[in-house]
Amino acid sequence: MSSLSEQPPPRKGAKPGYYPDPLGSGRARWWDGAEWTPRVGGIVAPDAAPGKPAPPPRKRCRRCGAEAETFENSCPHCGRSYGTSTGTVVAIVAGACVAAILLLGGCAVLIGLAVEEADEELDELGITPRQYRSIGPGTSERKVRDELGEPAFEDTLTSPALECLYYPEKGEGLLGIENYEFCFRNGRLYSKQAD
């Protein structure tokens, strides 16, 4: 028995009213005198007797201040809903939107700062096209390091006989990065390339 139409009455000859829900929802359900309806009321005590009408909860209207024991959703004096006011809902939604905007803005600021810091670091390690062109074949690795500084990256994995140094182009940053490659064999510049 899971549908309302299959549920027995709260008791024989029960008058219309709210009774503990026969489906076990923990709320009061309206009995219209002939059958159960989909209309539900407030929460009932877990030990409420199934055949006795559920007592209505005591409610206080925020608009007029009147108190009433009722299952109704509106104040019998002024007609205003007992539920959450529209202003409260708007305030909650607005607060959530502001929090989301602040969170996204904060993330954007952090990403921007990280990119700026990475750009500055690459700029410190970077060389200009003129510096790249000034290094000729046969230049010693020591001289290249002395003139250009420490590279951003070193590679000896490409070939065991070659050691390659990589410098970013100064002023290009992360997005427009061009690398200058200097490869040495036996401590002397063997090849160079810009990519």
Pick from 62, 83, 104: which residue ends a domain? 83
CA distance 193 to 159: 16
Which of 5, 83, 29, 19 lies closest to 51 in space, CA to CA? 19
Count of helix runs (H) and strand runs (E) in the chain: 3, 9
DSSP state of 38: E
Could you tell me the CATH number of the domain that includes residue 93? 3.30.1450.10
Rg (CA), the chain: 39
Same-domain check for residues 73 and 95:
no
Domain boundaries, position 46:
15-83
What are the tens digits of pLDDT across the range 89-99? 788 889 999 99
Among 13-17, 144-148, 151-155, 184-188, name the one with the lowest average pLDDT. Answer: 151-155
The contacts of residue 111 (CB under 8 Å, 6+ apart) are: none
Are residue 95 and residue 32 in the same domain, yes or no? Answer: no
- At residue 42, the pLDDT reads 78
Q: What is the pLDDT of residues 103-132, one digit of tens each?
A: 998 888 888 787 777 766 766 778 888 999
The answer to the question of residue 5 being in a domain is: no
Q: Is the dihedral of CA 24, 25, 31, 37 positive or negative?
A: negative
- Per-residue pLDDT, 138: 93
pLDDT at 1 over 70: no
Residue 185 within a domain: yes
